[in-house]
Amino acid sequence: MAGTDFDIQYIAHLARLDLTEEEQRQLGAQLQQVLGYMDKLKEPEVGGVEPMAHALPRSNVFREDAARPSLPHGEALRNAPARANGLFVVPKIVE
């Protein structure tokens, strides 16, 4: 069942979070609230409702495909914790 200590520890591991026991308890309670809300979404009868792709009836809404100025290279790298040869350096997370 979701919300157990094992599930919280597993989720924290996947997210690369080092949680205290108190934070794990808080996260577990919050996760139970979210899952409870998800169960409520199963309650309404929607058998006769036509499926929608979007909440508003919009179709073929396009914007002009035009190049715009972007953030300068140096400014993008300015707050990077690690960089090399003008690139961001990030830890390897996929084996």
Q: What is the DSSP letter of 79?
A: T
Question: Does residue 52 sit within a domain?
Answer: no
State how far the Cα of 71 lies from the Cα of 21, in Å rounded to an integer: 41
Domain limits for position 10: 5-40
Q: Which pLDDT value is given to residue 5?
A: 61
**9 in any annotated domain:** yes
CB 31 within 8 A of CB 24: no
> What's the CATH number where 23 sits?
1.10.20
Mean pLDDT rounded to a whole number for the chain: 87
- Give the residue, 90 or 95, on which the prediction is more confident: 90
pTM over 0.75? The answer is no
> Is residue 56 domain-resident?
no
Q: Is residue 45 situated within a structural domain?
A: no
Task: Establish if 16 belongs to a structural domain.
Answer: yes
Q: How many structural domains compose the chain?
A: 1
Q: What is the pLDDT of residue 56?
A: 80
Task: Give backbone dihedrals phi and psi of 88, rounded to 5 degrees, phi first.
Answer: -70, 140
Q: Is residue 10 part of a domain?
A: yes
Give a yes or no: residue 67 inside a domain.
Answer: no
